[in-house]
Amino acid sequence: MDKNDFPPRVSSGLTRERSDRLRPARRGLLKASIGAVLLGAALPSFAQAAYPERPIRLVLGFPPGGATDNSARLLAQKMGQLLGQPIVVENKPGASGSIAAEHVARSAPDGYTIFYTTSTVHGINPNVYAKLPYDPVADFEPIIYGSRTTLVVLTRNDLGAGSVAELIEIARSRPGGLSYASAGLGSTQHLAGAMFARQAGIEALHVPYRGSSLALNDLMSGQVDFSIDTISASLPFIRNGQIRALAVTSLESAAALPELPTVDSQGLQGFQVAAWGGLVAPRGVPAEIVRKLNAVANEALKSPEVMQRIAETGGEPQGGPPERFGQWIKDELGRWKLAVDAAGAAQR
C-alpha cells in the first residue's frame, strides 16, 4: 500500500490564512482551560486548609455518663479549643455501639462527622456478630489511638464478698451462681465477665444494659450481684461507698486505685482485660484532614489537664500517627476473636 491508497484528507473548511489567524486564540483557550483545571485541582487543598469552618460532630455509641462518654468529651473539648471550632458530642446508644458506627460509616467523608470508637465497636463486635452494618477496617479512616484503661471487679455492697476469692466462693455456693451486669451484649464488660466466670469455674447470668451508667445503677440498687467495668465509669461510686471494688484487671496496680490488688494476684493467674478508645472518620476523608485531626488530637493528649484527667480515671494516654491506630485495630480484632471464642460469646 502506498500513499495513493489512503482516502483523500477531508478539508476542515479553513484556509491556511484563517487557520493561522485562529491559532493564537486557540492557544489562549488552551491556556485558560489548563488554568481552570489546575485551579479546580487546587480548590480541595484550599478548602481543606481552612478546615474546620464550622462545628464538628463527634458521635459515640453509648449513653451519657459512662466511661466512653467521659473520654470522648474530654478529648473533644481540648481538640475544639485547639481547632478554634467546637466539637459537639452526639450520643447514639444501642446495639453495643453498632448503630452509631453504621451512622458514621454512611456519613459524608468531609471531616465534619467523626467517631469515638472503642474496643467493643472495633474489636469485639466483629467477632461476636456474624453480620454487622459496618466493616471495622474498610469503612473507616483511623485518626488516633486515644487511651487505654483497666477495668475493676465490682460487687453490690451487701453481697458479702471482700475479695475475688470470696466472690468466687459465694458464686459456687449458690444454685445458678450470680448475676453480672454489662454495658451491653458483646461489650467489653460482657466479655470480661464471661472470661472471669469461665476462668473461675463459676456460673454467672449475664444481664446486659444500654451503657455502663445503667448497669452500675442496678448494681448499686442490688438488682445484680457483680460487674467488671472501667475505673473511669465506676470510680465516683467506689469513692462514695455505693459499690465495692475488689480488684483491677491489669497485671499491675492502677494509679487511680493503688490500694486494690490485681485479679491475677487473687488467684486467676494471667487474667487481663483492658478497654480502649480512639477516633476514626468515614472512609474517604481527605488525608490532609486526617493529618490535621491527628496532630491536634496528639497535642490534646499531651496537655497536662488531659493527661491528669486520664490518669485519675485509670487510663493511659496513647497517641501516635493514624497508621499506629489502624494497625492496633487489626491486631485487636485477632486478639478479641480468641477471647470471644474462648468465652463462647459468638452469636452466629
For residue range 251-288, what is the model confidence (pLDDT) as tens digits? Answer: 888 888 999 999 999 989 999 888 899 999 999 999 99
User: What are the cell numbers at 141?
Assistant: 479512616
For residue range 194-247, what is the model confidence (pLDDT) as tens digits? Answer: 889 989 999 999 999 988 899 999 999 999 999 999 888 899 999 999 999 999
Q: In this predicted structure, what is the pLDDT of residue 185? A: 76
Q: What is residue 239's three-state secondary structure?
A: helix
Q: In this predicted structure, what is the pLDDT of residue 32? A: 39
Q: In this predicted structure, what is the pLDDT of residue 49? A: 59
- How buried is 279 (Cβ within 10 angstroms: 0-12 exposed, 13-18 middle, 19+ buried)? buried
Confidence of residue 37 (pLDDT cuts 50, 70, 90): very low
What one-letter code names the amino acid at 136? Answer: P
Mean pLDDT value of segment 58-68: 88
Sign of CA dihedral 143, 145, 147, 150: positive
Q: In this predicted structure, what is the pLDDT of residue 44? A: 42
Q: In this predicted structure, what is the pLDDT of residue 43? A: 37
For residue range 110-120, what is the model confidence (pLDDT) as tens digits? Answer: 999 999 999 98
Q: In this predicted structure, what is the pLDDT of residue 70? A: 86
pLDDT above 50 for 17? no
Angle between helices 16-49 and 287-302 (to 10 degrees): 20
- The mean of the pLDDT values for the chain is 86
Mean pLDDT value of segment 23-52: 47
pLDDT above 80 for 66? no
In the block, which residue shows the cell 478479641? 336
Q: In this predicted structure, what is the pLDDT of residue 324? A: 98
